């Protein structure tokens, strides 16, 4: 007989469940209202009819970004390494690059996808390759990691939840993962980007307020900001100190005491890698990734798209304070012994930090420091954020497959047929993502896993987009060569890394590369250094192949590079922004600088 047992303990009370039910009622009501307004066309389903206002664009971009890697992984990183990962969160300036550099080209081209833009700039082959790379990236990162994080949140908040289906026993992790997929699919499949964007706007407001409450009540339980600084220590408040290799005293020394280059650090974030690799990944993600840019493409014009990007940049400054700081608060509460259950979970018997358990830091704070009622709202916000992140990637994946593959193979397909194919494609990718979860569970940390995979796949895409708009001489053959070489290098590293990450599976429990061998070296090179190697290789390949072959037809790429813009293009772009847009841009930059100064002392 199939049974489900749910034991809540003292995690959620009746008032919490009422708050959760009310929130999801409002969310589903909003989604249903949007679905009723939707049309069964590709323009409406994939780009919300290109009619999203700047606040909806900005909030949707932020909500799509704030998913599993923040709720679970980023707070866990704050618990283990302090503000080290704040480098990635202070990449709000990358959204300003999107606003001022790329938005004019994207809005002018009227494309559905980033690969489609690449086709207009370079060649049809480049579009196919980028679509394939993007779909692989979504399966390896956003889909699988989003599902995984849903399981982690359920496991921390509802540890006794399980489902027995005959010989199949599903614990809270798997039940949570599956439930997140089902509820997300309800409005994503039916409503498309419009439903995703509007629900994400609501989720952004709830998530920010709820997460701020976690920070406030966490500090109250700890005794204030001064207590946090005391128990966390100066190193956890330093953006650069956690990146120093073991045995090196100087923050700015990228080499070991032996004088050899520090090629790999299993427990450190080297500043050299963060300085050069992190911006590559950040600019790829915020300026060229379909998952993010699709919301900007849904704006009606360049002004709304730019302001939406600037709005998202403001929102992007918040994760340091609403996710990393709570992770540090959890560490301090455990270390100080103020919360015994947290101390037992986050620290081992010998007093060392339990890195894998730190992924539970944020949901454990929710379960322990928040009062009844508020806890329910925050839990609803957590689950909704996980859902919004998955909803965004489902819609982006469907758009890529439908518009870049199926529509090319079946150019006569009706609008309704294309929408239906997008829904089918989403279902297939969810199944593949579920199968990939064991790989993630074997890794040392969710955020580390995500940054590692993105670091392998981002450089070639970054290279072809940025060099493509700045250098008109680069052609389709150079672009294709750079994409293929970079993708092969990144895939090779993933293949080498995967058996090591599967040590929790009996088949790979005793797997290890011979120390000093070529594959051992590849596996142990720090992921950021390997990423920079891919970037340099792709840049050289793209420039060399382009200049060794014929120049592109500049008339065909008119308006797609800075050098081929017309006077009318420049005039329209200038008319789309005001002094207010510039002022808010500089305010964002000032806030980023202030954060770097405070966390670098």
Please tell me whether the overall predicted TM-score, pTM, comes out greater than 0.85 for this model.
Answer: no
For residues 202-220, average pLDDT = 86
Long-range contacts of 532-535 (CB under 8 A, 24+ apart): 532/273, 532/276, 532/277, 532/280, 532/459, 533/489, 534/456, 534/459, 534/460, 534/486, 534/489, 534/490, 535/277, 535/280, 535/459, 535/462, 535/463
Residue 4, beta-bridge partner list: 163
Give pLDDT, residue 433.
66
- What is the model's pLDDT at position 447? 52
pLDDT (tens digit, 9 = 90+) per residue, 26-79? 888 887 887 777 766 776 777 666 778 899 999 888 887 876 567 667 888 888
Per-residue pLDDT, 94: 94
Q: Mean of the per-residue pLDDT values for the chain?
A: 80
The CB-side HSE value for 87 (13 A sphere, CA atoms) comes to: 27
Task: Report the relative pairing of strands 162-165 and 168-170 from DSSP bridges.
Answer: antiparallel
Q: What is the pLDDT of residue 252?
A: 39
Q: Which of 139-143, 273-277, 283-287, 442-446 has the lowest mean pLDDT?
A: 442-446
Quote the pLDDT of residue 373: 80
> Confidence class of residue 437 from pLDDT cuts 50, 70 and 90?
low
Q: What is the pLDDT of residue 281?
A: 86
* pLDDT of 259 above 50: no
Under the banding of pLDDT at 50, 70 and 90, the label for residue 239 is confident
Please compute, for residue 379, the number of CA atoms within 13 A of its CA located in the half-sphere on the CB side. Answer: 30
**CA atoms of 587 and 591, how far apart (whole Å):** 6
Whether the CB-CB separation of 251 and 241 falls below 8 Å is answered with: yes
* Average pLDDT, integer, range 340-359: 79
Q: Which residues of 183-194 are buried (b: 16+ CB within 10 A; e: fewer)?
A: bbbbbbbebbbb
Fold of 3-88+144-437: Sodium/glucose cotransporter (1.20.1730)
CA distance 113 to 510: 43
Q: What is the pLDDT of residues 173-196, one digit of tens each?
A: 677 777 777 777 777 777 777 777
Q: What is the distance between the alpha carbons of residues 126 and 538, in angstroms, rounded to a whole number?
A: 14
Q: List pLDDT tens digits, range 115-125.
A: 999 999 999 99
pLDDT at residue 204, as a whole number = 82
Q: What is the dihedral of CA 5, 8, 14, 15, to 10 degrees?
A: -130
Give the three-class secondary structure for 84. helix
Q: What is the pLDDT of residue 450?
A: 64
Rounded distance, CA 391 to CA 199, Å? 10
Strand partners, 168: 165
- Does the pLDDT of residue 242 top 60, yes or no? no
pLDDT at 440: 58
Cα 46–Cα 48–Cα 51 angle in degrees, nearest 5: 140
What's the distance, Cα to Cα, between the start and end of the chain in Å?
Answer: 61
pLDDT tens-place string over residues 142-169: 777 777 767 766 766 666 666 766 666 6
Q: How far apart are CA 480 and CA 485, in angstroms?
A: 9
- pLDDT, tens digit (0-9, with 9 covering 90-100), for 385-406: 777 777 777 778 888 888 888 8
- Give me the pLDDT at residue 557, please: 92
| Residue 429 vs residue 268, higher pLDDT | 429
| pLDDT tier at 335, thresholds 50, 70, 90 | confident
438 pLDDT more than 70:
no
- Residue 218 CA to residue 362 CA, distance in Å, equals 10
Distance CA 382, CA 377 (A): 9
| Per-residue CA distances from 152 to 286, 508, 513 (Å) | 26, 23, 30
Query: Does residue 346 register a pLDDT over 80?
Result: yes
Q: What is the DSSP letter of 3?
A: E
Question: What confidence score (pLDDT) does residue 100 get?
Answer: 96
Q: Is 568 exposed, middle or buried (0-12, 13-18, 19+ CB in 10 A)?
A: exposed
- Does the CA dihedral 589-85-78-175 come out positive or negative? positive
Cβ-proximal residues to 216 (8 Å cutoff; 6+ apart), any chain? none
What pLDDT is recorded for position 507? 62
Q: Which residue has the higher pLDDT, 273 or 454?
A: 454
* Residue-wise burial string across 448-464, b where 16 or more C-beta atoms lie within 10 A, e elsewhere: bbbbbbbbbbbbbbbbb
Mean pLDDT along residues 585-598: 93
pLDDT at residue 246, rounded to an integer:
44
Above pLDDT 70, what percent of the chain? 80
DSSP 265: -
> DSSP characters for 449-467?
HHHHHHHHHHHHHHHHHHH
Angle at 125 between CA 491 and CA 390, to 5 degrees: 55
313 Cβ neighbours under 8 A, 6+ residues apart: 92, 93, 95, 96, 99, 585, 588
Indicate the SS3 state at residue 568: helix
Bridge partner list, 163: 4, 170
Indicate if the pLDDT at residue 260 is higher than 60: no
Residue 255 three-state SS:
strand
Question: Looking at residue 89, what is its pLDDT?
Answer: 82
Q: What is the predicted pLDDT for the residue at 579?
A: 94
Percentage of residues in the chain having pLDDT higher than 90: 25
Q: What is the Cα–Cα distance from 478 to 482, expressed in whole angstroms?
A: 6
């Amino acid at each position: 007989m199939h049974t489900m047992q749910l034991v809540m303990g003292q995690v959620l009370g009746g008032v919490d469940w009422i708050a959760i039910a009310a929130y999801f009622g409002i969310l589903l009501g909003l989604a249903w209202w949007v679905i009723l307004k939707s049309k069964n066309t590709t323009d409406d389903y994939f780009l919300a009819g290109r009619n999203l206002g700047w606040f909806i664009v900005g909030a949707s971009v932020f909500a799509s970004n704030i998913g599993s890697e923040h709720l679970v992984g980023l707070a866990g990183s704050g618990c283990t390494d302090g503000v080290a990962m704040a480098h990635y969160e202070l990449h709000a300036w990358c959204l300003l690059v999107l606003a001022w550099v790329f938005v004019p080209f994207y809005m002018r081209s009227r494309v559905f996808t980033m690969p489609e833009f690449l086709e207009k700039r370079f060649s049809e082959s480049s579009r196919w390759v980028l679509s394939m790379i993007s779909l692989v990236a979504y399966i390896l990162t956003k889909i699988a990691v989003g599902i995984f994080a849903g399981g982690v949140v359920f496991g921390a908040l509802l540890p006794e939840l399980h489902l027995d289906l005959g010989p199949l026993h599903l614990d809270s992790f798997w039940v949570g993962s599956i439930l997140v997929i089902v509820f997300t699919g309800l409005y994503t499949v039916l409503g498309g980007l419009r439903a995703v964007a509007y629900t994400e706007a609501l989720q952004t407001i709830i998530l920010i307020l709820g997460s701020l409450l976690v920070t406030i009540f966490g500090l109250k339980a700890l005794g204030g900001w001064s207590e946090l600084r005391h128990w966390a220590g100066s190193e956890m408040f330093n953006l650069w100190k956690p990146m120093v290799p073991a045995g090196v005293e100087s923050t700015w020394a990228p080499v070991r005491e032996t004088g050899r280059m520090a090629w790999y650090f299993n427990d450190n974030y080297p500043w050299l890698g963060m300085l050069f690799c992190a911006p590559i990944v950040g600019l790829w993600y915020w300026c060229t990734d379909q998952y993010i840019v699709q919301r900007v493409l849904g704006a009606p014009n360049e002004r709304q798209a730019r302001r939406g990007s600037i709005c998202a940049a403001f929102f992007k400054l918040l994760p340091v304070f609403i996710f990393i700081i709570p992770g540090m608060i959890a560490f301090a509460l455990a270390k100080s012994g103020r919360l015994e259950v947290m101390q037992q979970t986050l620290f081992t018997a010998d007093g060392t930090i339990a890195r894998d358990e730190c992924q539970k830091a944020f949901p454990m704070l929710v379960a322990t420091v928040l009062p009844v009622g508020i806890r329910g709202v925050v839990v609803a916000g957590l689950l909704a954020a996980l859902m919004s992140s998955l909803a965004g990637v489902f819609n982006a994946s469907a758009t890529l497959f439908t518009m870049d593959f199926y529509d090319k193979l079946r150019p006569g397909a009706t609008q309704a047929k294309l929408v239906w194919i997008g829904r089918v494609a989403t279902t297939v990718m969810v199944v593949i993502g579920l199968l990939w979860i064991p790989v993630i569970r074997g890794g040392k940390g969710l955020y580390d896993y995500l940054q590692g995979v993105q670091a392998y796949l981002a450089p070639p895409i970054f290279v072809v987009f940025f060099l493509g708009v700045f250098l008109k001489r680069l052609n389709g053959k150079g672009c294709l060569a750079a994409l293929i070489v970079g993708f092969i290098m990144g895939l090779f590293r993933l293949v080498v890394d995967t058996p090591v990450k599967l040590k929790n599976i009996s088949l790979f429990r005793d797997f290890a590369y011979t120390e000093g061998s070529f594959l051992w070296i590849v596996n142990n090179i720090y992921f950021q250094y390997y990423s920079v190697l891919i970037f340099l290789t792709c840049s050289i390949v793209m420039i060399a192949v382009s200049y060794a072959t014929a120049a592109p037809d500049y008339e065909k790429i008119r308006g797609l590079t800075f050098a081929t813009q017309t006077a009318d293009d420049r005039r329209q772009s200038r008319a789309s922004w005001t002094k207010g847009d510039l002022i808010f841009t500089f305010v964002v930059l000032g806030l980023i600088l202030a954060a770097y100064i405070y966390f670098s002392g």
